Amino acid sequence: MKKRFEMTSASLHVLAMALMVCDHLWATIIPGNQWLTTVGRLTYPIYAFLLVEGYFHTRDVKKYALRLAALAILSEIPFNLMYSSQIFYPVHQNVIWTLLIGLGCVHLNERVRERGMVLRILTAGGTLLGGALLGLLSFADYNAPGVLTILVFYFFRGRKWWCLAGQTALLYYLNVEVLKGLAFEVELFGQTHFIVQQGVALFALIPIWLYRGRKGRGGRGFQYACYAFYPLHMLALHLIRSMI
């Protein structure tokens, strides 16, 4: 029997890292190449999805949160240097803070899962509003839509048709209607259409839907390499830019 192609957690991490480098190359040493940041739009939905999956597969949520918090702190200076060439840049925080806020929202919802429908609805509404507000006020990367993207993958977790439809519809709204960004003018069948660059993020659903729950190759060393890659590649890009 022919084996069905699928993405593993490890392969999703590698794909997300490669796409993130494309986006950050555009932001640093190869500006003006819009295709780099366009394909980079796929990065965040993959990481948001992996965060939710990580929550359900971790043995210790507290340790998972502490690892993210440590990474967020360690990544702040490399992030600031990459984006502003300044050590202190308070108006834009790295994306790990966004993931950490989302993780907290997911955990709060899970804590009340068995405590009645009314409390579950109130908690869901509270985390949607509170998480979005915290993402906005903290100046975390992707701010409110970033936190809400995580909650989309949480509330619509699974492979049922309504889960996939919910992911598609809500990611469309968050990326095309809320985040928007640059729009490309395209001529199609004699008519002019505008394609929102951030809307390309929806294509991240293709590798995400090819995931079937397998971890793939890579143990503890691979996990920590993925963590280290985020601050180290930003620091490397900053240093390269300063030398050219």
* Residue-wise pLDDT tens digits, 141-191: 999 999 999 999 999 999 999 999 999 999 999 999 999 888 777 777 777
Q: Are 68 and 62 in contact (CB under 8 A)?
A: no
The predicted structure's pLDDT at residue 190: 75
> For residue 203, is it within any domain?
yes
pLDDT at 47 over 70: yes
The predicted structure's pLDDT at residue 2: 54
> For residue 22, is it within any domain?
yes
Q: Are 27 and 82 in contact (CB under 8 A)?
A: yes
| Span 92-143, pLDDT tens digits | 999 999 999 999 999 999 999 988 899 999 999 999 999 999 999 999 999 9
Measure Cα distances from 239 to 58, 65, 139 in Å: 35, 30, 25
pLDDT at 1 over 70: no
The predicted structure's pLDDT at residue 42: 98
pLDDT at 4 over 90: no
Average pLDDT over residues 33-61: 96
The first and second tokens of residue 1, run together, are 């029997």
> For residue 2, is it within any domain?
no
Domain that holds residue 91: 9-243
> For residue 134, is it within any domain?
yes
Across the chain, mean pLDDT equals 93
The predicted structure's pLDDT at residue 189: 76
Measure Cα distances from 115 to 103, 105, 123 in Å: 20, 16, 11
**pLDDT class of 28 with cuts at 50, 70, 90:** very high
> For residue 102, is it within any domain?
yes
**pLDDT class of 3 with cuts at 50, 70, 90:** low
> For residue 3, is it within any domain?
no
> For residue 162, is it within any domain?
yes
The structural domain count of the chain equals 1
Average pLDDT over residues 222-230: 95
**Beta-carbon contacts of residue 143 (< 8 Å; ≥ 6 apart):** 98, 135, 136
Q: Are 19 and 36 in contact (CB under 8 A)?
A: no
> For residue 104, is it within any domain?
yes
Which has the minimum average pLDDT: 183-187, 203-207, 209-213?
Answer: 183-187
Average pLDDT over residues 199-227: 91
Which has the minimum average pLDDT: 4-8, 136-140, 199-203?
Answer: 4-8
